[in-house]
């Protein structure tokens, strides 16, 4: 009864692996190490360096390791990059996911948990946004994930594969025990960038857009702690194992912070000031997106434990310092 974690050497995937191990599960990781790190996978966990779209490889893994569930994280996740290079997103996030799902069906895997995104909603009509909102992604990243949601829905109807789609809002923070964190050197995500600016690892940072129809003109997002996010996957796994039907859930705290709120919090927690440049809008960004989390609480009994921006920022800062001290490891 092994669980295959694709992207298990990456930011969220590595936290998932730790959570699964803590729960006594058997885990195997498939990761091409394009943005992940070998050191992020505990040495006793089998790490297969390869492509999750490689049907021959995946079929062999599923067979040889007697995989019973797949948690699929591996993906490209940067909105502006998807605007500049959409075909790479459709190949990596969509076409290769089709191959992975095909392998799962062929191997009669019953449980599949998929990392989707709030970006499938685009610019929602109202916030907090519920899962029933019309999906209208405004960037190729969101569309590349939406296609996979649709594939899973169709496949669940036609086969025995049941799935939980988790639509992540803005994931941040680090393992409270300091075992993993966001480690991509050229990360573009807000909290990571702000933390690097606070620690002097970059000269300052930009705010992309101050003319949005929001409280302070900057974009609002729902920042969720990575540990609460991986906990949602554990809840999803339990749900599927108990026979629950396929399901789509938002994962967020139902609370929005603006870009300026986040920068203020980072400055306050770090106790430093750093240069912030008010810049123009970034392509593909919705003004506001905040999760409704009623469904995940009622169906998966998800109980977040780290719902606090200050804690998220403090742990992100701690991790960034730790990462800086270990530079040079692969
Ligand atoms: N953002 C910013 N400066 C940065 C990075 C991000 O102003 O250096 C803004 C970005 O335009 C968006 C929000 O922060 O409004 C969250 O962006 P991020 O890339 O973290 O996540 P996304 O919501 O795009 O998945």
Does residue 328 carry a pLDDT above 60? no
118 CA → ligand 1 middle, Å: 13
Handedness of CA 144, 150, 154, 159 (dihedral sign): positive
Does residue 168 carry a pLDDT above 90? yes
Is the backbone peptide bond immediately before 122 cis, with ω within 30 degrees of 0?
no
Q: What percentage of residues in the chain have a pLDDT greater than 90?
A: 95
pLDDT given for residue 145 in this prediction: 98
Sheet with 2-6, side-by-side order of all strands: 47-49, 26-31, 2-6, 67-72, 111-117, 162-168, 247-251
**How far is Cα 98 from Cα 108, in angstroms, rounded to an integer?**
15
Structure tokens at 321: 């310092």
Determine if ligand 1 sits within 6 Å of the CB of residue 188.
yes
**How far is Cα 103 from Cα 306, in angstroms, rounded to an integer?**
36
Does residue 310 carry a pLDDT above 90? yes
Determine if ligand 1 sits within 6 Å of the CB of residue 288.
no
pLDDT given for residue 142 in this prediction: 97
Indicate which residue's Cα is closest to atom 18 of ligand 1: 189
Is 141 labeled as catalytic in the residue annotation? Answer: yes
Determine if ligand 1 sits within 6 Å of the CB of residue 167.
no
Q: What is the mean pLDDT of residues 280-289?
A: 94
pLDDT category, 280, cuts 50, 70, 90? very high
Does residue 327 carry a pLDDT above 90? no
Strand, helix or coil for residue 327: strand
Does residue 330 carry a pLDDT above 80? no
221 CA → ligand 1 middle, Å: 9
**How far is Cα 147 from Cα 153, in angstroms, rounded to an integer?**
10
| Closest of 63, 62, 10 to residue 40, by C-alpha | 10
pLDDT given for residue 325 in this prediction: 87
pLDDT given for residue 186 in this prediction: 84
List pLDDT tens digits, range 93-117.
Answer: 999 999 999 999 999 999 999 999 9
Average pLDDT, the chain: 96
pLDDT given for residue 114 in this prediction: 98
Q: What is the mean pLDDT of residues 211-216?
A: 97
pLDDT given for residue 329 in this prediction: 57
Determine if ligand 1 sits within 6 Å of the CB of residue 182.
no
């Amino acid at each position: 009864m092994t669980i295959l974690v694709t992207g298990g050497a990456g930011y969220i995937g590595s936290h998932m692996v730790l959570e699964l191990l803590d729960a006594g599960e058997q885990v195997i990781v498939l990761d091409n190490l394009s943005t992940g790190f070998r050191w992020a996978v505990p040495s006793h966990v089998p790490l297969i360096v390869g492509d999750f779209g490689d049907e021959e490889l995946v079929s062999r893994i599923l067979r040889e390791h007697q995989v019973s569930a797949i948690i699929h994280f591996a993906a490209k996740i940067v909105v502006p990059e998807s605007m500049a290079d959409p075909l790479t997103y459709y190949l990596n996030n969509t076409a290769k996911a089709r191959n992975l799902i095909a392998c799962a069906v062929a191997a009669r895997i019953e449980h599949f948990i998929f990392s989707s995104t709030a970006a499938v909603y685009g610019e929602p009509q109202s916030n907090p946004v519920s899962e029933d909102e019309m999906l209208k992604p405004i960037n190729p990243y969101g569309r590349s994930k939406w296609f996979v949601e649709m594939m899973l829905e169709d496949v669940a109807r036609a086969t025995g594969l049941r799935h939980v789609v988790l639509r992540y809002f803005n994931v941040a923070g680090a393992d409270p025990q300091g075992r993993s964190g966001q480690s991509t050197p050229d990360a573009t995500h807000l909290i990571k960038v702000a933390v690097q600016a606070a620690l002097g690892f970059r000269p300052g940072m930009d705010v992309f857009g101050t003319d949005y129809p929001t409280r302070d003109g900057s974009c609002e997002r729902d920042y969720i702690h990575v540990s609460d996010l991986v906990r949602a996957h554990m809840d999803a796994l339990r749900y599927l194992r108990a026979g629950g039907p396929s399901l789509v859930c938002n994962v967020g705290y139902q609370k929005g912070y603006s870009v300026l709120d986040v920068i203020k919090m980072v400055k306050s927690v770090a106790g430093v000031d750093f240069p912030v440049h008010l810049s123009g809008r970034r392509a593909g960004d919705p003004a506001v997106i905040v999760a409704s989390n009623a469904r995940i609480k009622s169906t998966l009994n998800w109980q977040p434990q780290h719902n606090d921006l200050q804690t998220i920022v403090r742990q992100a800062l701690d991790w960034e310092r730790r990462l800086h001290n270990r530079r040079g490891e692969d």
